[in-house]
Structure 1
Amino acid sequence: MGICAKELRHYVVRPTLKHLRMWSPTAENLLLGTAARESGLGFHLKQEHHQALGIYQISPRMHRNIWDHYLAKKSDLSSLIRGLASQREFLAHPHLELATNLSYATAIAWMIYYRTDKPIHKVPHDDVHAMGKLWHNYYHRHHPGPVESFVDSYKALITDSIEMEKSLSESLKTP
């Protein structure tokens, strides 16, 4: 089992997006879906035979690409994101931050989408299939997997966990 979807939403994804001044319900759900699809919400932080790390499974190559080709040109945004990283560890082991620092990893995952300049905010926050297309088209360039894999992961780990939590809360209220 990975991280509780509700807790990841409220304690990591939403505050990180708000820190970046980029919060929207669609951005929040897209990142939750990405974490669900990529790592089972943190069930795996590094998959065997892969270099990618963390709940969003970001490769060191993609991490460098975001910094060298996107954030290097945006000093205010890069400063906000660098502020999320650990002071010493980031300098010694920058890619390890993707596995150990949820807020930093969330910011970098969001940059993978944000740098595309696509109107992500126009996608309805509850259209999981449309978010799956964003994941498929922009998150991975090679071998992303089918859109349905995103949809299935979202339904199983995000939607179902929210429904289960509501049901549990209601059952605890009744004597």
Structure 2
Amino acid sequence: MRPTLARLAGADAPGIDRDAAVELLLGTAAHESGLRALDQITSAADRTLGPAFGLFQIEPATHDDIWDNFLKHRPALAGRVAALAAAQPSRHEQLATTLAYAAAIARLVYYRSPVPLAAPGDIAGHAAVWKRVYNTAAGKGRPDQFVEAWTRLVQPYR
């Protein structure tokens, strides 16, 4: 996460590479995919990619909204994000195949939100931010699940 966020950093993106953002993204990936699922499996018969892609389980509509309504107005940052993508496959598919690109898009979901990040080390606080911004009130995820995923999948390696 750190190298990706360092590549996003610039005068036009203050704080994008904060330590708290690294923790929040690690917790997001741990909860959303268990740090292993690159595709959202909807049933035993599911043989298609999606509806959410990658370790961060980002939906194409969210990806497109980041580009259309946030990065469109920040060309320098958009250029740094685009530099993380490969020529192939499509950018939606790269949410599952290009970790740096997926991490950048996930960071931007949080970065464009007015909800402040929790302090570094405040995992319950990160869980609350995840719920408000990433999962939303309508989502099925719970902050305690985020904390459990962090404790099981991230904490042992910190």
TM-score (norm 1): 0.78
Native 8 Å contact 2:115 2:133 kept in 1? no
RMSD value over aligned CA atoms? 1.3
1:155 aligns with 2:157: no
Give 1:47 deviation, angstroms: 2.1
Instruction: From the superposition, tell whether residues 69 and 31 of structure 1 become closer, same or farther in structure 2 (CA, over 3 Å).
Output: same
Which residue in the other structure is 2:6 paired with?
A: 18
* 3-state SS of 2:61 partner: helix
Report the more deviating stretch, 68-77 or 103-112.
Answer: 68-77
Gaps of 5+ in 2: 10-15, 43-49
Give 1:144 deviation, angstroms: 4.3
Question: Considering only CA atoms, is the larger Rg found in Structure 1 or Structure 2?
Answer: 1
Query: Match of 1:133, as an amino acid?
Result: A
Q: Return the structure number with greater helix share.
A: 1
* 3-state SS of 1:17 partner: helix
* 3-state SS of 1:118 partner: coil
Report the Cα distance in structure 2 between the residues aligned to 1:128 and 1:94, rounded to whole angstroms: 30
Percent sequence identity over matched residues?
37
Which residue in the other structure is 1:172 paired with?
A: none
Native 8 Å contact 2:25 2:107 kept in 1? yes
Report the Cα distance in structure 1 between the residues aligned to 2:65 and 2:33, rounded to whole angstroms: 21
* 3-state SS of 2:156 partner: helix
1:102 aligns with 2:102: no
Report the Cα distance in structure 1 between the residues aligned to 2:135 and 2:150, rounded to whole angstroms: 17
Which residue in the other structure is 1:127 paired with?
A: 122
Native 8 Å contact 1:54 1:105 kept in 2? yes
* 3-state SS of 1:61 partner: helix
Gaps of 5+ in 1: 1-12, 163-175
Query: Match of 1:146, as an amino acid?
Result: R
* 3-state SS of 1:15 partner: helix
TM-score (norm 2): 0.86
Q: Tell me the alpha carbon deviations over residues 16-59 of structure 1, each in whole angstroms, 9 at most, x when there is no partner.
A: 01111121110110000000000111x21112125000000000
The residue correspondences of 1:164-175 to structure 2 (distance < 5 A) are none
